[in-house]
Every structure is written in C-alpha cells, then in structure tokens.
Structure 1
Amino acid sequence: MTESQKVVAEFWADGPRSESPPGHWNQLAHGLSRRDGHNLDDDVKLFFALNAALLDAGIAVWDSKRHYNYVRPISAIHFLYADQTIRGWGGPNRGTIDMPGRDWQPYQQQTFITPAFPEYLSGHSVFSAAAATALTLFTGTDRFFDGVTRTGQDIDGDGEEDLLGEFLFRAGKGFYEQGPNTDIVLRWPTLKDAADEAAYSRRYGGIHFQDGDLRGREQGRQVGQAAFAKAQQYWLPTP
C-alpha cells in the first residue's frame, strides 16, 4: 500500500468510537450549509433529506448483508491461502512483507480487525452513494471543493478552518501506524468523488471485495434518489 492509500483507508474508516459513516456525511453537509448560506428552514430540509437517505441506506444494505451472508476478505484469504506465501501489510510499521496466508490482516486498527457482520454489500459504499446523491439533488449541484468556502471547523487540526471538500492529513498523524512521512491532502472536486473515495477506501483497507463496493454504490444511488423524492413531498406544495 502507498502512503496515500493508507491515508484514504484511515480517513474514511469511521469505526468504533467515531461518528460512523452516516455521521461523517452529516459533518460534510455542514460545510454545504455554510457555503449556500442556509437559514434554519433550509437546514431542516437538508438534514431531513440527508438522514432519510442514510436511514434507508442502512436498511437496504443490512438486508443485503443478511440475505447474502458473504465472507469477508480476512476469512477468505485465511481459508484459501493459509499455507501459501503471499505479500501484504505486515502490521503497524512493518510495511509490505511476505507471510503465510493465515497471517494476513486488513489495514485496520488492531482492536477492530474487521467488522463482525457479512461483507456484501459494502455499508460505506451504500451510505456514501446515498448521501452524495441526496445532497446533490438538494443543492442542485455535485460541486464540492471550490477552494474558497471555509467550513467553520478545524477537523484536520492544522490551526485553520478547513476548506470545504478538502482534508489535510498531517505528517506523523496516522491512526494505525507512524506516518505518513509528509502531509497528504485529500480533495474532492465533486460529492461523487468523495463518495467514491469512501467506497474504495474499504478495498484499500482489506475490508471489502470489488463487487461489494461497486454493487453497493449502485444500491446507494438508487436509495438516495428514492429517499430524496419522498423527502421532497414533505415541503413541496401539494397540487
């Protein structure tokens, strides 16, 4: 894994004792509210539509998980490659090494190696695609990073208000191991870019397979469209 891939995996992990993927998207939406000069009425509608989409995303993806009951990469690799030599992340600060397949582990916290529920579909992919779709439909634009809007928060801890659609991952501030060696900037020109990065971060981390990610994005977009259409009915004039 490159340092950039590790940073992406860590930034979007949203595991235990975090805001979780739905909370992460609510945090990002605060910046959109600030950019668009929302009043209370606007925010009530924005966060209602967003969280309706996130709630429905959770229902849809967990229904899929329980239906397919599909294996995680860690179980598949341990079973299929137990006695074969493979290359992978060797653990904190050990880099990429040769190891028996039975010793492979995802790039995750040592206290939370892999989620304890089925792989297919990817929750991150469904949540993120649903959120990005609902936010795009509400704001009327997919644009995210504009290089101007400040969010009013300093989540990355660099002493300045964060730019909308950007996160500065500072050198030496890795969560799972020492690193990165230099500052790495994550930037998302569009909401779809952010959602896609959140989705494939789970492949970087060894949590999901490609199919669980890609099919999850498809499901998330469908959920986002349906949830937003329903949410609008609560504020649009009735004929």
Structure 2
Amino acid sequence: MKKIFYLFIFTIVLTSCVKDEKPIVVTAENYHQTVDKITEIMVHDIFSPPVASRIYAYSNLAAYQIMRQENKDLIDFTSKFEELKPIPKADTTANINFKLAALIANMEIGKKLIFSEELLTTYRDSLYTEWKRTNEEEFNNSKDYGLAVAQHLSEWIEKDNYKETRTMPKYSVYSDDPGRWQPTPPSYMDGIEPHWPKIRPFTLDSSSQFKPAPHPEFSLKKGTAFYDELVEVYEIKKEMEKTGDDAEEVKIAKFWDCNPYVSTQRGHLMFATKKITPGGHWMGICKIASKKADLDFAQSSYAYTATAIALADGFISCWDEKYSSNLVRPETLINKFIDDNWKPVLQTPPFPEYSSGHSVVSGAASIVLTRIFGDDFNFEDDTEVKYGLPIRSFNSFSHAANEAAISRLYGGIHYRSAVENGIVQGRNLGNHVVKNLNIQPLTY
C-alpha cells in the first residue's frame, strides 16, 4: 500500500515539474521590430549609405531563405547569385519554427556586420529568454537551424570583397583640375568608399552595367549647360531664403536629408547628429507599406529582401559612376567663383557629385516596391518623425522617389543633371532587379 502511495506522490510531483509549453508565436511585427533594431544600431554606429545597404541585404536575405523552406511558392532570389550554394535543409523530423529560425538568422547576420554587437546581443537575448520560456525544445531546434543557415551564408558573404576594400588606398584629392571633386565644409572629410564598385553585386553583371547619361561637360563659361546648372543651384537657394524654413522646397530637402553623419562645429567643439541613411529611409517605407497591406511574416520578408537587394545594387551602380566622373560639388564652385559666404541647405556629403545617390537608390527601390504593392499605393511616411520631422504623404512610390531626387537640388548639394539622370539610372536598374529576380506582385 505504501508503495502505491509513494508512486502516486511521485507521479504528482513529476507532472507538476513538466512545463506547460505552447508553440512559439512569431509575427510580422516581430520582423519589423528586428529590422528597426538593426537600423537603430546602424545609426548609432554611423554606417555610410553603401555599407548600410549591404547589411540590410544580407540580414534580410538570411531570413527570406529560411522562409522558403516553409513556403516553396516563394521565389528563389539566389539562383543567380554568384557562388551561393543552397542553404542547409531543415530536419523535417525536428520541431522547427521557421519564422523563429528566420529571425535568429537575420539577427546573427546583422550582428556579424555591425560594430556594436553588444546592442544587438542584448536585444536578441531578451527575445531568447522569452522564447525559451515558452517552448524550450522548439526554441533550441529553431535556433540551431537559424544559426546553421547564418553560418552557411556568412561563408559566402565574406567573399564579396568588402574586407579587401577596407585596406585599399584612400581616395586621392590632389589635382589642379577645377572640375574634380574636392572635400567640402565643415569637416573636409575624405571621399567615402571609393572602392565600393569592387563589391560583389547581387543582380548586376558589373558595377558599370547601368551607367547614367553623361553630365554636361564641365565649364565655368557663362551660357554653357554646366554653368547654367551651377547658377541654378545658387539661385534656388536665394529664392528659398525669401520664405525661409517655411518654403516647401526646404521642407522637402530636410525630410530626405538622410545624412548619417551631419557634423557641427562651434568654436573648438565638433559633434555629430546621427540619422538614418537613404537606404534606411526606403526600408522604413517598405515597413509602412507592409503594415498597411497587413502582410504576414513571409510576405514582409519578401518585400524587405527585394527592396534591400535593389538598394545594394543601386549603391554599387551609383558609386561606380561617382568615382569615375569625380565631379566637383556645387558648394565648392559657388564658394570659389560666385559667393564665398554661400552655404547649401543641407550639408554636402563627402563623395563626388555625379550621379545623385538618393536619386539612384530611390528610383531602384520605388520600382521594386511598385511591382510588389501596385502603381497607386498611397502611404503616410512617418520614417523621419523620430528625427523631428513631420509626416509627409505620397500617392505612390514613384511620387516619393521623385521628391527624394529633387530634394538634392533643393538642398544645394547636386546639380539638376545628377538628379534627373540619376533617377533614370535607378529606375533602369530597378526594372533589371525585378526581371532578374522574377519579382511578382503580392496579393493582400
């Protein structure tokens, strides 16, 4: 009788020790929050626009490839990617949550590519604790698979020439050519990422595949096309000054500034204002569209990854032209030949003028997003609210891209040709990305 009694007590104790485990629920909102966290850390680390685009592309590609294991109807973006072998297949007998594994892979790749790893590790570990508490077996299996995929992709990522470009020579600015780019105030920084065209692209045959039409021939002679564009930049600023910060052109310029490092000098004190990159702004627009369309986790991953690839190839294409043409910025010429007290609305970024990076990547991203969400997808862009700027409304992605492009002329940092030819360059590239990756519209 005592044996039966002790057995009964043992069974009760054993049963009470068994966790009440439930399936781990991972939603599209979790995906948005993770992309936002990586963006936040990139702002903290002050990544340049080209480098930021690389981080977005690889981290989202890792998540998307895992989601394809669960949904075979998702398009295989990687079939044409150079030297990328298929990711490890999941163990079908194991309890694996593919959304969970995708987020883990996204964070793991992101952690490898940013500087402040501890910030992402803290965020990741808070999620790990919650997931493990919910269902330890599901968490462990999903984590193992996510990390395996991340390791597989890391081996491919390391061969994209990024590490090699870190040790290549700085851009040389010594030249008597007045049309050649020179560092600009206030910090007179070296040209950033002069070797970015050497980075392995995703869909391009080469970094020069989508060269823009040539800019007007450099000339300081009145009546020439180039000189007229230079004077236009100067005159636009003078016209805007009549209205001040209330001028719509000023509002547009500041909304699309997206300069990750705006340096301010007050006497001997110098400090930086940090913001998102132009790629970060378009990833934010992708989030806005995904949430408005109520996309699920897999669909959101699809939209983010396609957009990020367009941005990454856009920067490679644009930087190829920038360091080929090496065109001088308006601020340099206006200060030297027209008005030495003139300052642009925006701080001139530290790299050559032609073509406009905002124009190229905005054109490329807008084509991809239009393909996914449709021609007349209207949205409220609150991406810049955290940086003290109001919401702006757009009736399409093309509308937003056009405004992003012209903002560079209003900001006083680009000539008109860089804007107009740049957005054509970007749209041509975007159409190529859509065709190359076979991007299809989403039904939502």
Length-normalised TM-score, structure 1? 0.70
2:301 is aligned with 1:44: yes
4+ residue runs of structure 1 moved beyond 6 angstroms? none
Superposition map of 1:150-169 within 5 A: 156=385, 169=390
Residues 212-223 of structure 1: pairs in structure 2 closer than 5 A: 212-223=418-429
Shift of 1:186: 2.9
Matches within 5 A, 1:119-198: 119-145=353-379, 156=385, 169=390, 186-198=392-404
The separation in 1 between residues aligned to 2:356 and 2:389, in whole angstroms, is: 26
Please state if 1:61 is matched with 2:290: no
CA distance in 2, matches of 1:23, 1:154: 9
Q: How far apart are the structure 2 equivalents of 1:232 and 1:11?
A: 32
Query: Which AA in structure 2 matches 1:228?
Result: V
Match of 2:251 in 1: 7
- 1:105 matched to 2:343? The reply is yes
Counterpart selection for 1:75 from 325, 332, 335: 332
**Aligned residues, how many?**
182
Separation in structure 1 between the aligned mates of residue 317 and residue 376 of structure 2, nearest angstrom: 24
Matched, 1:32 2:289: yes
Q: Is the 8 A contact 1:74 1:105 kept in 2?
A: yes
Does structure 1 conserve the Cα–Cα contact (< 8 Å) formed by 2:331 and 2:343?
yes
Q: State the Cα distance separating 1:64 from its structure 2 match.
A: 0.6
Aligned to 2:119: none
Q: Secondary structure at the match of 2:385?
A: coil
- Does structure 1 residue 206 correspond to structure 2 residue 419? no
Q: Is the partner of 1:38 in helix, strand or coil?
A: coil
Q: What's the secondary structure of 1:141's corresponding residue?
A: coil
Bigger helix fraction = 2
Structure 1 match to 2:64? none
RMSD: 2.2
Q: Which runs of no fewer than 5 residues in structure 1 stay unpaired?
A: 82-100, 158-166, 170-184, 235-239
Residue 187 of structure 1 aligns to a residue whose secondary structure is strand
The SS at the match of 2:412 is coil
Deviation string, structure 1 residues 27-78 (Cα, Å, up to 9, x no partner): 0111111122211111121111101100010000000101111110001212
Q: Which has the larger radius of gyration?
A: 2
Q: Give the whole-Å Cα distance in 2 for the aligned partners of 1:154 and 1:31.
A: 8
Residue identity over aligned pairs, in percent, reads 34
Q: Distance in 2 between matches of 1:6 and 1:36?
A: 31
Measure how far apart 1:156 and its partner are: 2.9
Matched, 1:232 2:435: no
Please give the alpha-carbon distance, in whole angstroms, between the structure 1 residues aligned to 2:378 and 2:428. 21
SS of alignment partner, residue 102 of structure 1: coil
